Amino acid sequence: MRGVISDTERRGMRRRLSTIQVLLIVALLLEGAGPIYWLFKGAISSTQESLRDPLALWPAEARWSNLTEAWTTLEVGHYLTNTVVLVAGSWFTQLFVAATGAYALSILRPSYGKYVYGAVLATLFLPATVSMVSLYLTVLDLGIANTPLSVWLPAGAHAFNVLLVKQFFDGIPRELFEAARLDGAGAWRIFTSVVLPMSRPILAVVSLLAVMNAWKDFLWPMIAITDTESQPLAVALPRLADTSDQALLIAGMLIAIIPPVAVFLVFQRQIIRGIAFTGLKG
């Protein structure tokens, strides 16, 4: 394997390449890990010290109690639970809708299927934000505002998922279904025991995208869930930012990024491969 620079050239410019390499890694460290370290340092410093000496690399007196205090007074744990509930539900709806819809459209193929698929694909042209206002009114009409349903259900209307899963299903050899059908399996049996087990890779990709999107969502949960008790952390943090001590807020922010960063570090290979696979960000 080679890139733009050939192996022979590489030998000739080894020193220059190493210099660039070191510079690049230092730059990436500052850019990627620096801000997270800043959060960590700010979380265990006193507010006064952060203000007085923002460039210190380590606080004169590490205040680990900030973390526990943030956990209790800012109720970070409570909001984090709300986030997890919203994310889990959104993930499930997206997966459920994409899998069932794609199965019907790709394998069962009713005559009207192409119209439904067309209508689903058409929504790709219109990002959800532009119908946000009427979506809110709809959620009000349905009486699900302020409940997790107001986030879970609209999350399911994600055309890209249906597209991804349908394309994957299209690639499964049809003989497999015929064989199963001859064995007497119905549509449901084929779905659960043939199609789903074969689609683990694509379901993993959809799950990854679903969880990341749901975890990052801010605008819609802010509109749909106005009840402070049920808000996810992303919506609660700017509100808390107004009234809380700076050190505690930074501690709260640190706690907020631990779960996604930890999940990323553990599953980095799969996540990085997944992003590259979809060829699309977010």
Partner 1 sequence: MAGALVLAAATSGCSSGSAEGDLGKTTITVAGMPATTAAKTRKQFLDAVAAFEKANPDIKLKPTDTQWDARTFATRLAGGNAETVLTVPLTEPPGLIARRQIADLSAEIKTLPHATDFDPRALAPATGAEGKVYGLPVTEYALGLVYNRALFAKAGLDPDKPPATWDEVRAAAKKIAGPGVAGYTQMTVKNTGGWILTAMTYSFGGQMEKKEGEQYVPSLLDGPAEQALRHLAAMRWQDDSMGANQLRTQQDAERDFAAGKIGMMIGTVNSYTRYTTLYSGKPDDFGIAALPQQAGAKATLLGGLVAAVNAKATPAQRAAAVKWIDYYYLKPNYDPAAAEQLAIANAADKLAVGLPTLPFYGTAVSGPVNAAIAKHSNIPVSNFTPYVKDTDKLEYLVEPPVAAQDLYGALDTAVQAVLTRKDADPRDELTKAAARVAPLLEKAQ
Partner 2 sequence: MTRRSGLAAALFLIPTVLVFGLFSWWPIVRSVVLGFQRTNLVEAAAFTGLDNFRTLLADPLLVTAAGNTLLFTGLALIIGFPVPIVLAVLMSELRRGSGLMRVLVYLPVVVPPVVAVLMWKWFYDPDSGLFNQLLGLVGLGPYPWLQSTGMAMPSLVLEATWAGAGGAVLIYLAALSSVPTELYEAAELDGASVWRRLWHVTLPQLRPILLIMLLLQVINTFQVFTEPFVLTDGGPEDSTVTVLLLIYRYAFVNGDYGAAAALSVSLAVVLAVLSAVYLRLTRTWGTK
Site residues (CB under 8 A) for partner 1, limited to 7-46: none
> Does the protein bind partner 2 through residue 266 (CB under 8 A)?
no
Which of partner 2, partner 1, none lies near 172, with the C-beta cut-off 5 to 8 A by kind? none
Out of 3, 227, 279, 281, the residue judged to bind partner 1 by CB under 8 A: 227
- Choose the contact partner of 76 out of partner 1, partner 2, none; CB within 5 to 8 A by kind: none
Residues 14-73 that bind partner 2 (CB under 8 A): 17, 20-21, 24-25, 28-29, 31-33, 35-36, 38-39, 42, 50-52, 54-55
Pair of tokens at residue 16: 């220059």
98 CB-side CA count, 13 A: 31
Stretch that binds partner 2, among 57-65, 68-76, 197-205, 262-270 (CB under 8 A): 262-270
3-state helix, strand, coil in the chain (%, to 5): 80, 0, 20
Q: What is the DSSP letter of 46?
A: -
Residue 280 binds which entry of partner 2, partner 1, none, CB below 5-8 Å type-dependent: partner 2
How far is CA 207 from each of CA 60, 89, 111, 157, rounded to the nearest angstrom? 44, 12, 29, 14
Distance CA 225, CA 228 (A): 8
Q: Does 75 bind partner 1 (CB under 8 A)?
A: yes
Distance of alpha carbon 163 from alpha carbon 102, whole angstroms: 8
The values of phi and psi at residue 264, to 5°, are -65, -45
Q: Which residues bind partner 1 (CB under 8 A)?
A: 47-48, 51, 73-75, 136, 140, 145-146, 223, 226-229, 239-240, 242-246, 248
